[in-house]
Amino acid sequence: MIVTYDLSQFGIADGQIVVGAEQQYWTWDRPGPDRVGLNTLAYYQTFFDRTLELKLGYLRNQNEFTGTLFGGITGSNMSALFQAGMSTNAAPTPAINLKLNFDDRLYNKVSVQRSISPDGAYVHITENPTGLNWSTANAGILLVEEAGYKSKAASGVPDTWLRAGVGFNSSRYTNLADPKQQRESGNSFHYIAADRQLWQSDALGSPSRGIYSGFSVMGAPPDLNRISRYYELRLYAKGAFDNRPSDLIALVATNTAWSKVAMDAALAKGQLAHRETTAITGTYTAHLAPGIYASVGLSYIHNPTSITHTPQTEHALNLLVSTLVFF
């Protein structure tokens, strides 16, 4: 549950106070520990006719950078950035974000964020289930910078979004080549992403409807991160059918390249290990009513586990069902 209080009624331009709490419960151990706690606690305001945007508090930077949501619903896998410290919905951390809009298309966005635990989101949530603690063990400061070009769809003008970013983390990470040695700082990540509308099905009435394509590339040092590269190709359609103008169809192919350092360490122990994980996912998201969306999809994954596997876990076929409610 997230609640926003509008401060513009008091003369504060675009001023907002955002407070959110979440509860998550798992019937399976692996995805993460159960928690009840803070989701976000933020203050947002613009300056100089929206040239500058400020957001500070306990933030979820997974929603602030790279464009996790494409087509409004479906999103990219950001595990390559989470491992390098990016805060998540389940692990918000103190941060200050500033966005400079050079015009209505070009922008530059920076963040000074307390990193999540260098041992991962699972450890972070275990140590700080409420999300209220200022920090966790071995966590430092994460600096993130993103530059981008974003043009909204108009009649005869296709929707376009180009962005690239880097992050530098002072947290103390375990070296995957020798986990027993002293922890070291200096982790980082980088990414580029692009989305482009290829065809407008209703240019005059609703120019955002049509077919889109996009890609994402993310990377991090293989000695400190289990994911060294992440690649994604996506093809999606908004309002493909005239009688369903708000529905979304998406086909996404991903490839996760695992750290060679971690893979070599696993092989040295006699474990079965793989260099990469490949997945193809198709989803259909239906707009059922104002603020209510339902999604169904099918995902095939080759090597669904992280680096090591057994003969029984080389392939997976997952049925995906979700519901989103906004009010």
- Long-range contacts (CB closer than 8 Å, 24 or more residues apart) made by 240-247: 240/201, 240/209, 240/211, 244/286, 244/287, 245/202, 245/206, 245/209, 246/287, 247/284, 247/285, 247/286, 247/287
Give the residue numbers spanning the domain of 282.
2-325
Number of domains present in the structure of the chain? 1
Neighbours of 163 (CB within 10 A): 20
The pLDDT assigned to 73 comes to 45
DSSP H stretches of helix in 86-152:
121-127
Comparison of pLDDT for 28 and 169, the residue scoring more: 169
Task: Name the E strands within the chain.
Answer: 2-6, 16-24, 35-47, 52-59, 93-101, 106-114, 141-151, 160-169, 187-200, 210-219, 227-238, 248-258, 276-289, 292-302, 315-325
Mean pLDDT of the chain: 92
Tell me the per-residue pLDDT of 8-65, one tens digit each, with 9 for 90 and over.
889 898 999 999 999 998 887 667 788 999 999 999 999 999 999 999 999 999 999 9
**pLDDT band for position 71 (50/70/90)?**
very low
For residue range 56-66, list pLDDT tens digits in order.
999 999 999 98
Q: How many Å separate Cα 155 from the centre of its chain? A: 30
Which H/E stretch holds residue 261? helix 260-268
Name the 3-class secondary structure at 20: strand
Give the pLDDT confidence of 195-220 residue by residue, as tens digits.
Answer: 999 999 999 999 999 999 999 999 99
Q: What is the pLDDT of residues 249-296, one digit of tens each?
A: 999 999 999 999 999 988 888 888 899 999 999 999 999 999 899 999
Question: What is the reported pLDDT for 178?
Answer: 84
CATH code where residue 48 lies: 2.40.160.180
